[in-house]
Amino acid sequence: MPPKPMSDSDMRHDDSPEQGASPVDPATLIRDAHDLLRRNDTGRFVKPSLGQYPHQWNWDAAFIAIGLRHLERARARDEVRHLLKGQWADGMLPHILYPDGPSDYFPDPAFWRTDGRSGTPFATSGLTQPPVLTTAVRMLVDDDPDQDAARAFAAETFPALLRWHRWLHAARDPHGTGLLAIVHPWESGNDNAPRFRAALDALEGVAPPAYRRRDQAHVQRDERPVAGEYDRFMHLIGLYRGWDWDPGALYERAPFLVQDVAFNALAHRAERDLRALAVALGHPTGEIDAWLDAGHSAFEERLWDAPGGLYLGRDLRSGAWLRENDVTTFLPLFAGVAAPGRAQRLVETHLRDPSAYARGTKIRFGLPSVAASSPRFEPRRYWCGPVWANMNWLVLQGLRSYGFDADADAVRRDTIALAARSGFVEYFDARDGSACGSRGFSWSAALVVDLLAEASEGAPAPGPPPPDPGSR
Ligand code: GLC
């Protein structure tokens, strides 16, 4: 891929400790990212990281494919194909695939007890993750110079993607509310985000099966979820495996049932991409149109908190809002579902607030995963405050599609500067840009490659055309 020449402003972070640091040229960054992706590649799938995450994860595979398509397009397609091998007989696409059996990662494959239901050739988890894979497939198809190959790939993967989305609606919105529910915080991809805390605290009779977590062997304790939360994560898995992962039982009985903004925004965007694939393949779109129409109105009616000017999720068990100002509030822009006035308010009131998401006294790099103004902001703990490359990538695409180009450019610049400064780590401390979590993290590398591949600063990334706010 010919790297875009990088302007000084890409690398320099004015008034930050990095000022004066030697600029890293994009070709070096891309080469380092490619080396990392090769190192993490088993030949069949790319591990999120070698030590901490040695299996295949669902939305990781999507982000990895998005970046890899600039480097090795055929390999990027195989990443998608491998993930689809883990699809359950009923259409569910699990969040972890264990094709190589156990490792020192916990939960180990046997913990989930999914064999009776999955019908897959290897063990998988019983939960799902946001369907970014559908968006990745569309991106792979749209900008492929070989449109015959692209069309063949679309035709090959579309049926499995459609089955997954059908499963999502049947299993997670059986009463047709228009919004999908998650049954575990891990399904959002933001495992221990504080927005789930009240719903977790409300769980009664927490009795997790015996377990021993191993994540702290790889990563500092203060950068990982706390023990009480982990017990609750395991308690939920214990219940669901006891119900043999029956989707009907889960929806009706799960004590954790949440309509999450991140999950619904990513699913809505994915369904717009699924529709585009259907159109390209000459497949009827009526079913997808109905999901999109219902999703759009339910999103705007149920998930917008007018007093705070934030998109917030809903706890279906208690009826309460998931009250937390976190970075996922901007994802409806990526979905193209936010009314323009609401998008404007989000950006002006929150994104540009120097006490929350913008560079100011508290943080020097955006975007913190939780607003720095939140009492629950913890700058180094996992999804409680650090900057994540995938969140930045999703938010900046959304900003751009709504015309907030300068804001999108700032997020892009910070993401690249963080990787140049601290490497392709799992997450970053927003105060000083220092490294947190796993080292050598695949999606950080892949998404920085995608950002560097943008044709010119301010121009939309190659891939899906900008959403059309206010309509499908
Ligand atoms: C953690 C993250 C999740 C990710 C996985 C593998 O569980 O919270 O989003 O998919 O690690 O990287």
DSSP 272-301: HHHHHHHHHHT---HHHHHHHHHHHHHHHH
- Looking at ligand 1, which residue's alpha carbon is closest to its atom 3? 189
Average pLDDT over residues 197-214: 96
Q: Which atom of ligand 1 is nearest to the CA of 60?
A: 10
* pLDDT computed for residue 7 by the predictor: 43
Cβ atoms of 239 and 396 within 8 Å: the answer is no
CA–CA gap between residue 132 and residue 140 (Å, rounded): 12
Enclosing H/E stretch for 73: helix 73-84
User: What is the pTM for the complete model shown?
Assistant: 0.94
CB 295 within 8 A of CB 178: yes
> Which pLDDT score, from 0 to 100, does residue 13 have?
42
Q: Over 50: is that where the pLDDT of 4 sits?
A: no
Closest-CA residue, ligand 1 atom 4, reads 189
Among 46, 50, 60, 327, say which to mutate for ligand 1: greatest number of ligand atoms within 8 Å of CB. Answer: 60
Task: Judge whether 41 counts as a catalytic residue.
Answer: no
- pLDDT number for residue 469: 41
Average pLDDT estimate for 293-299: 98
Q: How far is the CA of 42 from the centre of ligand 1 (A)?
A: 18
Rounded to whole angstroms, how far apart are CA atoms 288 and 290?
5
In this prediction, residues 245-268 reach a mean pLDDT of 98
Q: Whose CA is nearest to atom 5 of ligand 1?
A: 57
| Model confidence at 11: pLDDT above 80 | no
User: Phi first, then psi: what are they for 321, rounded to 5°?
Assistant: -70, 150
CA of 428 to the centre of ligand 1 (A): 15
Please check whether residue 297 is in contact with residue 321, taking contact to mean a CB–CB distance below 8 angstroms: no
State residue 330's pLDDT score: 99
Query: Ligand 1 centroid to 5 CA: how many Å?
Result: 32
- The best mutation among 45, 53, 215, 233 to test binding of ligand 1, ranked by most ligand atoms within 8 Å of the C-beta, falls on 53
pLDDT at 219: 85
Question: Ligand 1 site: residues with CB under 6 angstroms?
Answer: 48, 53, 57, 59-60, 189, 191
CA–CA dist 161, 472 (Å, integer): 19
pLDDT tens profile 419-446: 999 999 999 999 999 999 999 999 999 9
What is the mean pLDDT of the segment spanning 225-241?
95
Q: Which conformational region is residue 12 in: left (phi greater than 0), alpha (psi within -120 to 50 degrees), or beta?
A: beta
* Active-site residue identified among 72, 90, 108, 191: 191
Please provide the average confidence, as pLDDT, over all residues in the chain: 92
pLDDT band at 347 (very low <50, low <70, confident <90, very high): very high
Q: How far apart are CA 391 and CA 388, in angstroms?
A: 5
Lowest mean pLDDT among 21-35, 44-58, 128-142, 182-196: 21-35
Concerning whether 191 is annotated as a catalytic residue, the answer is yes
Residue among 213, 251, 206 at smallest CA distance from 232: 206
Read off the pLDDT of each residue in 273-294 and give the average, rounded to a whole number: 98
